Structure 1
Amino acid sequence: MKTVNKKSRLSIFLIATLLVALFSTSMSAAAKGNESNGPERGNHSGGSQQTMQQYAEAMQPGWNLGNTLDATGEDETSWGNPRVTKELIHQIAAQGYKSIRIPITWQQRMGNAPAYKIDPAFMDRVEEVVDWSLDEGLYVMINMHHDSWLWVKTMGTDHDGVLARYNAGWTQIAERFKNHSNKLMFESINEPRFNDGWGDATTADFALLDELNTSMHQIVRDSGANNAERPIVLPTYATSGTQAGLDELYKTITKLNDPNLIATIHYYGYWPFSVNVAGGTRFDDNAKNDLTQTFDRAYNTLVAKGIPVVLGEFGLLGFDKNIGTIEQGEKLKYFEFLTSYLKEKKITQMLWDNGQHFNRTTYKWSDTELFNILNMGLKGRSSTAASDLIYVKKDEAVQDTSVALNLNGNQLTGIESNGKKLNKGDDYTLDGDVLTFKASFLSKVTDSGQLGENAVLTAQFNKGPDWRFHVLRYNTPVLYSYNGIASTFSIPTSFNGDRLATMEAEYTTGGYAGPQSWTAFKEFGYAFTPSYDTNEIKLLPAFFNEVNDGQVNLKFHFWSGNVITYTITKSGTSITGIAS
């Protein structure tokens, strides 16, 4: 065998290495050349290669520190939440959350032009909360939040001024955080819009948003260090899931040709259901179709083309007034379907919580049923039912009561009442997905004669959280005549164990009365609200602010099926209420 000297062996090795490299490069280029769905998505996070889709999936699930650093007052407590503590962040991580979105409003912390210098103490505070979050192993998102409607929205009429201030803000944020871990990401702007409404965007609106997103992207990348590859989150117009908005964001992301970009939208449900207006009391086909169509669009336009999507906020708009605005069972069905559908579409979810869900001092959930549904949505489907209310009327023969289960691939394993297991066949039967509670059993649990909730029946399944049925013994509600003034008018009411679903309002002369005059059904918690503790139905000032003088017929719809009529007459601020 011919001997090859050391120098020759080195030359052969170098030539072979070069050929392999050239071959690999040409194959990679060919593969990219065959792609038609946009740029390759990739990222180096913490030193290990990771695609942006994998990065987004590692964020699942996420939680919003809402109404805190984004409060528009001088202090993070100005909107009613306590000062953020390291323990709160620890508790969020302990709940199983993998990411935290920290909304931040910068306006009142920025100085005058041209520097727009951010208050150093506030920047330090933001960094402290960010560092606590990173120390807990959380992925962290920070942004410009309510600045969007405080001053950024005027970009159409003050283009140069807004852009200068926006750029100055991001220049300072990028500089402060450029050496932080890439588990920190920047979101360019929250819910961007350039007018006071939430209607469809114009071509000019899309152009302004593209300019903001592009400018922020350039600032961050030019700042160097970890910002050269830091994940950047870019929103659609108003962070909505319209097809036009998704298409425009896709154009921006494709133009930037940056593998470390994430798209974001928000979702608060089909509006009539989300706030309980226009008869939207149930999570029905309209609400379900709105949901599926929104996330089908997001998946087809972005995720399927290699651009990950984070649902940066989700919930129900009615929660801003009260988490009871939407009936409990309907609320749970909505969140169960939403979270499972997001998982199917590979979209990361971040719950909006402005203090109404996770108590920031006791570290307890206000609604453990909701938390259990949200948690299960990451693993599989939960079982629900057509309703969680079972009504038994006083002084009427008790009948068998059937309710359809949404088993979602699971199996019913048993039902309990006060810790005691019900007997299948005697207390209830199951025929496919139809659960029937026997009249003899319902008679037994309501024989106290007490109106209202008599029992809670806990249905258990082989997977996922329990579903609770509330057995209510009721009689027809009674509303009483009353004279009062518009600012404090309430109808004395004997609910008699029933619960209010919605209210209609129409002038006796024709036409719908009150706000949202395009529908007879008024908004729960805005136009009216029941008070079961004080036995009254409150007609709120917002209702009377848009009611003309004259006579109005009201119809109160209860969950039992009862509909009770009532007449009010408005004369200035004086209100006369007459029971039918």
Structure 2
Amino acid sequence: MIRMLQFRPQSARWKPVLAAGIAAVTVATGLVAGASAYAAAGCRVNYAVQAQWPGGFTGNVEITNLGDPISGWSLVWTFGSGQRIGQMWNASYTQPAAVVTATNMSYNAAIPANGKVSFGFNGSWSGSNAVPASFTLNGVTCTGSPATPSPTQSATPSPSTSPSQSPSPQPNDPMQIVVAMQPGTNIGNTLDAIPDETSWGNPPINQALLDHLRAQGFKSVRLPITWSNHHGPGPGYAIDAAWLSRIRQVVDWALADGFYVMINLHHDSWQWINTYPTDRASVLARYNALWTQIATAFRGHSPKLLFESINEPQFTGTSGDEQNYQLLNELNAEFVRIVRGTGGGNASRLLVLPTLFTNADQGRLDALRTAFAQLNDRNLAATIHFYGFWPFSVNNSGFTRYNAEVEQDLVGTFERAANTLVANGIPVILGEYLLLSLDYTRPGIIEQGEVLKFFEAFGYQARTKRITTMLWEAGTVLNRQELRWREPELMAQVTSSWTTRSGTASADQIYVPRTGAIAARALTLNLNGTTFQGLRQGSTDLVSGRDYTVSGNTLTLTAAAMTRLAGNRAAGVNTNIQARFSQGVPWRISIISYDPPVLSNATGTTSGFTLPAQFRGDQLATMEAKYADGSVAGPYNWTSFKEFWTHFQPDYNAGTIIMKPEFFNEVNDGARVTLTFHFWSGTQITYFVTKSGSSVTGTTS
């Protein structure tokens, strides 16, 4: 695998400097670039050092064809100071010694008369970084004077190439590019962390992480980047050279691994861009300065690098959505203007524009579609985010299951995006997706089987609506230190959904009493276009007719099979069986023995009240809170069901249920509150709490 020269930004704060002998120009990025024009019969070459640090540099080469159109090119030069190229983009290269030969890619082979093409590279140097003395294009020395190419020129004119062809590399059809990016993932809470890459608990991004993601089947990575802590003051807002080099390093690693890569302005959205309505001049100046520098630094990079204007745009102090749409359209239009103006590969780079809040409500989508029509730029894509139906994704308001309402919210999101954008030729990247409370540090908020049903349907909708999706991975889904999925069962469902549907069932757990007779139990199969193949325990197939029956979509396990599977009926999971289907991943069904939970009296305070709980094999699903007159108690006055973990939390190891300060903060002083705890077995237990100042008393009666 080809690797770029490895920079080490932690060891020094590098500043771009000029190589000796290069004619310097200062660009709006705050970086200093070197450029020299070398004349030849029929061609001109501009060679620029965009950034340089001890031992390394980034170069950009622009070829202008002053002769007849050519359909393939090879540029040759000699490094006179021992420089070595480590990686090149928008061209392939060989360098057996001092001589470098750069050859076109398939997408930039044609250069029309007076057309241009550019490519970039990372290289190493020592002692000096002298400018190459001359360049030859297809065997002809470039002098900057138009003339008839010599007979020895290796490439012949292509009569089929139109002189009106754009001089910059053209990506493939934007819709095809976005489709090719599926599936994608974020590397979140890292380069976007505040103030530094490791501030939010994740290790620095390295090549091993990218290799692992590629091996898992991901084809694109989104690199959220927060810039606000890594640039100087106005008016220049110069980006810190070491930070920009670190970003370039990660981008180049990802490109070398074959990924499509998307970078953006991330938490800048709420740190300073949101003040745009009231601080228009300074926000626009900062926004322009940052994107000018970023775009210039990467203008020679592969077309597989995408720029996203801003993450989850939001504005404070506006009159409402119409003004919000206008402001966002202004910023997006400015973004497109800035990037296109930096030239090189940016003239045709695929740029990604978000809806307001990156939300998929119809008004947001309509406003973005209108903006696309006004911009009239074919190389644009849209982006939205999706974290599921909110009450389900955080487990409040009683939405413990992936029910019809949750599904309709998911289906409606994809349908609106597909009908409004994709059907009108605008590709859509769903730049972040997950469930809000899916976090290994807060287990059990959403029941596992309900999570799996959500992701099975999510993948199907994305695939059928041709929308590319990028998992929000912020260290919560992948253990980055060990490079292993925290929930292999979940990721098996996610990855399977990229290509096929899987069968599921109405539940993934069957609770049976610890004592007494066990009855037959039934589940509803959700076939999702598959056919049911049977049940299996470990490597042993259960027997149809004896152990289970299927009638339509109803799967029934016989009383005899249930009794056998429950074994000694110890509290908790006794065994797991798998429902197997004609395609996709199997559906796990856990057989669980339980006794009804037992709660006990307790006293405490509003900042630390825990009630003793013997769970006895059962698991908590949700909790209701009401006053004696039946009205809603606690937060969320529209529902008696409170939010799992935010307002209450089970601790199965300690044998307690923790009632959070956030709950008591909105409970009437002196009032008795009836709590109803709902368990996954179907058991409901009532408990009473009374708040008196900061004191809380809890009783079972």
Q: Which moved more, 1:290-299 or 1:172-181?
A: 290-299
The 1:110/1:547 distance shift into structure 2, 3 A limit, reads farther
* Structure 1 or 2: more helix by fraction: 1
Shift of 1:295: 1.4
The 1:464/1:196 distance shift into structure 2, 3 A limit, reads farther
Alignment of 1:318 onto 2:440: no
Shift of 1:49: 5.6
User: Which residue of 648, 654, 678 maps to 1:534?
Assistant: 654
CA distance in 2, matches of 1:536, 1:44: 68
The 1:510/1:173 distance shift into structure 2, 3 A limit, reads same
CA distance in 1, matches of 2:539, 2:695: 52
Alignment of 1:141 onto 2:259: no
CA distance in 1, matches of 2:241, 2:464: 43
Alignment-derived partner of residue 331 in structure 2: 212
Shift of 1:216: 0.6
Q: Is the 8 A contact 1:45 1:182 kept in 2?
A: no
CA distance in 2, matches of 1:78, 1:352: 18
Shift of 1:201: 4.8
CA distance in 2, matches of 1:406, 1:393: 26
Q: Is the 8 A contact 1:116 1:168 kept in 2?
A: yes
Alignment of 1:59 onto 2:181: yes
Q: Is the 8 A contact 1:264 1:311 kept in 2?
A: yes
Q: Is the 8 A contact 2:309 2:351 kept in 1?
A: yes
Structure whose alpha-carbon radius of gyration is higher? 2
Segments of 4+ moved more than 4 angstroms: 43-49
Amino acid in structure 1 at the alignment position of 2:536: E
User: Which residue of 688, 692, 701 maps to 1:567?
Assistant: 688
Amino acid in structure 1 at the alignment position of 2:615: F
CA distance in 2, matches of 1:477, 1:213: 56
Map of 1:81-480 to 2, 5 A cutoff?
81-195=202-316, 201-319=320-438, 322=442, 324-480=444-600
Q: Deviations over 1:467-491 (max 9, x none)?
A: 1001111111111111112222111
Q: Deviations over 1:315-343 (max 9, x none)?
A: 11112563531100111001111110111
Q: Deviations over 1:362-401 (max 9, x none)?
A: 1111111211111111212111111101011233421110
CA distance in 1, matches of 2:656, 2:590: 22
- Provide TM-score, normalisation by structure 2: 0.74
CA distance in 2, matches of 1:214, 1:511: 50
Q: Is the 8 A contact 2:648 2:660 kept in 1?
A: yes
CA distance in 1, matches of 2:640, 2:573: 30
Q: Deviations over 1:430-480 (max 9, x none)?
A: 222211111111112224131111111112222111110011111111111
Map of 1:545-560 to 2, 5 A cutoff?
545-550=665-670, 551-560=672-681
User: Secondary structure in 2 aligned to 1:317?
Assistant: coil
CA distance in 2, matches of 1:49, 1:577: 66
Q: Is the 8 A contact 1:46 1:183 kept in 2?
A: no
Shift of 1:561: 1.1
**Percent of pairs with identical residues:** 48
Q: Which moved more, 1:249-258 or 1:404-413?
A: 404-413
- Provide TM-score, normalisation by structure 1: 0.89
Amino acid in structure 2 at the alignment position of 1:329: G
The 1:239/1:44 distance shift into structure 2, 3 A limit, reads farther
Q: How many residues align?
A: 535
Amino acid in structure 1 at the alignment position of 2:645: G
Q: Is the 8 A contact 1:69 1:105 kept in 2?
A: yes
Structure 1: runs of 5 or more not aligned? 1-42
Q: Please tell me the root mean square deviation across aligned C-alpha atoms, in Å.
A: 1.9
The 1:89/1:234 distance shift into structure 2, 3 A limit, reads same
Shift of 1:44: 10
* Structure 1 or 2: more strand by fraction: 2
User: Secondary structure in 2 aligned to 1:108?
Assistant: coil
CA distance in 2, matches of 1:65, 1:88: 9
Q: Is the 8 A contact 1:201 1:237 kept in 2?
A: no
Q: Is the 8 A contact 2:170 2:348 kept in 1?
A: no
Structure 2: runs of 5 or more not aligned? 1-164
Amino acid in structure 1 at the alignment position of 2:186: N
